Amino acid sequence: MTRLALAFADGAVVAKRNLIKIRRVPELLIWTTMSPIMFVLLFGYVFGSSIDIAGTNYREFFIAGVFAQTVIFGASGTGVGMAEDMTKGIIDRFRSLPMARSAVLVGRTGSDILYNSISILVMSLTGLLVGWRIRTSALEAIGGFLLLLLFAYAISWVMAYVGLKVPSVEVVQNASFMFIFPMTFVANTFVDSSQLPGPLRTVAEWNPVSAVAQAAREAFGNTGDLPEPEVWSLDHPFLYSLMWIAIILAVFIPLSVRQYNKATTK
């Protein structure tokens, strides 16, 4: 087998090890599902009655934003998991095994796709209860869900690098929050970016999270009668999102592997 095939094979074993935690610690699955439900209900019933976006039903508008925010927050689990493994000495055990070094990272980021898939499923079901509907074809909707998962996968590599660079669970959690919170709120996730003032509007329009949310809305048919976006990033959200995904993966996969090798040779 080639080195790449070995890395994926070993990564699958590590991913299985991470997923076994669901059976041994069912609380992980419970809180993975409770958080998406809380966000959908909070924005659907609390903010949804006070926020008005002309041209569309707000309960349909915000769902794509909640999807984007939740999967990005879910990706932060990669960094927490890496930091936890580093502090508990599990990485040292992996080093003693005849396995590809990149397998730990491949397995960790791969297993988190399942956690995010569960979150999206739960949010979708909850969204249906608050009035959200998919108004496009099944193929288009699947494309929207896959884009969300792919973007979350790219962010998980950023979080993996953070977890290796700062091997402390508490610090990783705080750093993730400080990075993700403004990234997901200075965007068109919950409000139309055209309603934001000056510089914030520019940041929101070119924020990759805005493009992911916009692409998901278009894939689900939730744009209503909103006017066409005036900026290229939101007028071509799928392409802009894919560009960012490619850039993030191209930068942070090598950085994460290098940091992992550095951290495990100390």
Please write the tens of the pLDDT for every residue from 210-229: 999 999 999 999 987 888 88
Contacts for 14-21 with beta carbons within 8 Å, 24 or more apart? 14/94, 14/103, 14/104, 14/106, 14/107, 14/108, 14/111, 15/106, 15/107, 15/108, 15/110, 15/111, 16/107, 16/111, 17/107, 18/81, 18/107, 18/108, 18/111, 18/112, 19/111, 19/114
The proportion of the chain whose per-residue pLDDT surpasses 70, expressed as a percent, equals 80
Q: Is the pLDDT of residue 1 over 60?
A: no
57: which residues sit within 8 A by CB, 6+ positions away?
Answer: 131, 222, 224
Task: State the average pLDDT for the chain.
Answer: 82
Query: Given pLDDT bands bounded at 50, 70 and 90, which one contains residue 266?
Result: low
The whole domain housing 179 covers 3-264
pLDDT given at position 135: 92
pLDDT given at position 158: 92
**What is the pTM (predicted TM-score) of this model?**
0.88
pLDDT given at position 16: 65
Q: Is the pLDDT of residue 155 over 80?
A: yes
Q: Is the pLDDT of residue 90 over 60?
A: yes
58: which residues sit within 8 A by CB, 6+ positions away?
Answer: 48, 51, 52
CB atoms within 10 A of CB 118: 16
pLDDT given at position 17: 65
Number of domains in the chain: 1
CB burial of 76-107 (b: ≥16 within 10 Å; e: otherwise) equals: bbbbbbbbbbbeeeebeebeeeebbebbbbbb
Tokens of 44: 């659907």
Least confident interval from 25-29, 108-112, 198-202: 25-29
Least confident interval from 93-97, 106-110, 232-236, 245-249: 93-97
| CA angle, 122 then 150 then 24, to 5° | 50
The proportion of the chain whose per-residue pLDDT surpasses 90, expressed as a percent, equals 29
Query: Given pLDDT bands bounded at 50, 70 and 90, which one contains residue 207?
Result: very high
pLDDT given at position 223: 87
pLDDT given at position 235: 93
Query: Given pLDDT bands bounded at 50, 70 and 90, which one contains residue 29?
Result: low
pLDDT given at position 83: 80
pLDDT given at position 14: 65
pLDDT given at position 233: 94
DSSP state of 133: -
Which residue type sits at 126?
T
Q: Is the pLDDT of residue 95 over 90?
A: no
Q: Is the pLDDT of residue 85 over 60?
A: yes
Please write the tens of the pLDDT for every residue from 38-65: 888 887 777 766 677 777 788 888 889 9
- Of 230, 246, 250, 227, which Cα lies nearest the Cα of 238? 246
